[in-house]
Structure 1
Amino acid sequence: MWKQRVNRNTLIIPLLLIGMVFMNSCAKRNLTYFQDIGDEQDYVLNNGPFEEPKIVPGDLLDIRVSTLSPESNVLFNYGIVSTDESGEAQLSRDPIVRGYMVDPDGNIEFPTLGSVKLGGLTREEAKVYLKSELASLVIEPKIEIRFLNFKVTVIGEVNRPSSFVVPTERITILEALGMAGDMTAYALRENVLLIRETPEGKVIHRFDIGKKEILSSPYYYLKQNDVIYVEADKKKLNQANVNPTTIAAATIASSLIVALIFNFNDIFVR
């Protein structure tokens, strides 16, 4: 009778190689923002230029008019003028809560004035224009305009992908990512995509969140309907593309290797 023992190294070495490959594939990613900012206590960097957003088709506007005439206030802000038995104007409790929708031609339908073109104007420019249009109808009108549907969308490798309606049009890409719960550990921080609709067509810009240049970029401040897409790194994409059958086979193979290592004496001894 003879015994032949298999050298333990013949099993251990391949396993170590497999482990090294696995550890390399799971190497830590650098999740730090603005990696190239120095250690100085005070670091001055100019923000990207902020441009007042212009009114575009599809915008929903809240327009409030204040005049010296109660009847005019009721008409312009509530759309309906009703009178009581004495003939005095009554305040309707049915305000235009849905706002004024800008049509594809950039127009809104405003009480008394009819079709008014506001497309292409900023809020301040639209206020001046409406004030001039109403000046012949009422005395010293005051206009307030705000966006009701100024929204940005954040999708991809973030914790809470969604569309967000923001109360102010002054919002940065960092604030939008914060509203989405920040990027996940799988996010490709070197390649954050911004998609913007313009009259000339779609504009696509790529950010590297790890670089300080984002703070001075002309795309640092977002505009209405901007879409931010955070791409997943290749390791997660590869995991998503792996066939479930392949995963099951790999799991079974790993179990067999472990069984061989811990029981090689019983298996290979004759």
Structure 2
Amino acid sequence: MIIFVLRKKLFLFLFFVSLVFISCTTKHDIVYFQNAKNFETIVDTDTFKAKLKVGDIVSIYVSTLDLEVTKPYNLMIEAGSSAQLIDYLIDVEGNIDYPVLGKVKLVGLTVEEAKELFKKKFYEGQLLKDPVIIIRVQNFRVTVAGEVRNPGVFPVSGERVSILEALGIAGDLTIKGRRDNILVIRDFNGTKTYTRIDLTNKEVFNSPVYYLTQNDYVYVEPNNSAISNASGDSRIGTIISITSFILTTALIFVTRN
């Protein structure tokens, strides 16, 4: 009878230990925007626009009613059987070397501000009349790493992308991703900033990194469950083995007495 009781206690103890060390993921850990109320309206007043950085590659197309006068500004390069516009690299001083105009400082400007700068230069130099300027950032991309389904480097076709969109492109967070402490690393001309945001809180929409800029790095760290699975399996096995040894020894001692 005593042996049966001890065996039962051993089983219950080991079962309890396994429950303690196997981390459980709760609704509180995984649900986004938990404090958003039903029918709550949030007006988006964010006018964020990405600014041009050192190392950005931009394409610039200039158009007027007279296409002949714009040819010097739309330099082309042969690409196989076709031709494409030459791209311009923003150098370490924040400038591009542009035809006729020479050095043009673009760093720190939004795309719209850069367009207005070109229009002003064309007007002041009496070079073009009512030009239409199209500027695109060719190397706008963001990196999403960590506990997401498809980590990687993703190109952005528009002028801005939100962190929610970027995470969606990466397949969203895995069940093991920590949602309340996502890190965004931003580099602007050699200065790095580190900002953390909480996706479980609706205030994420007010974060300065809600909209990402080119070459932002987003890292989703593992939650406690993932950490426990990675580093705790051997520890749990050791604890269970030691406990089993102690109880088995106690069982043998009792049966002998």
Query: Does residue 1:44 correspond to 2:41, yes or no?
Result: yes
Q: What amino acid sits opposite 2:4 in the alignment?
A: R
Q: TM-score, normalised by structure 1?
A: 0.77
Q: Which residue matches 1:87?
A: none
Query: Does residue 1:176 correspond to 2:166, yes or no?
Result: yes
Distance in 1 between the 2:50 and 2:231 partners?
A: 41
Specify which structure has the higher proportion of helix: 2
Query: Does residue 1:58 correspond to 2:55, yes or no?
Result: yes
The CA RMSD over aligned residues, in Å, is 3.0
Q: What is the CA distance between 1:102 and its match in structure 2?
A: 0.9
Find the partner of 2:7 among 5, 11, 21: 11
Query: Does residue 1:149 correspond to 2:148, yes or no?
Result: no
Distance in 2 between the 1:60 and 1:199 partners?
A: 14
**SS of equivalent residue, structure 1 residue 131:** helix
Find the partner of 1:73 among 70, 73, 78: 70
Distance 1:21 1:45, change over 3 A: farther
Distance in 2 between the 1:128 and 1:116 partners?
A: 12
Q: Which residue matches 1:101?
A: 89
Unaligned runs of 5+ in 2: none
How many residues align? The count is: 240
Q: What is the CA distance between 1:35 and its match in structure 2?
A: 1.5
Contact (CA 8 Å) 1:50, 1:221: kept in 2 or not?
no
Distance in 1 between the 2:97 and 2:136 partners?
A: 16
Residue deviations 1:195-251, cap 9 Å, x none? Answer: 1123582221111211111122232222222111111023322433368xx48976x
Q: What is the CA distance between 1:77 and its match in structure 2?
A: 2.0
Query: Does residue 1:29 correspond to 2:26, yes or no?
Result: yes
Q: Which residue matches 1:86?
A: none
**SS of equivalent residue, structure 2 residue 62:** strand
Find the partner of 1:20 among 16, 36, 42: 16
Q: TM-score, normalised by structure 2?
A: 0.80
**SS of equivalent residue, structure 2 residue 181:** strand
Q: What is the CA distance between 1:174 and its match in structure 2?
A: 0.9
Q: What is the CA distance between 1:73 and its match in structure 2?
A: 3.2
Query: Which has the greater radius of gyration?
Result: 1
**SS of equivalent residue, structure 1 residue 95:** strand
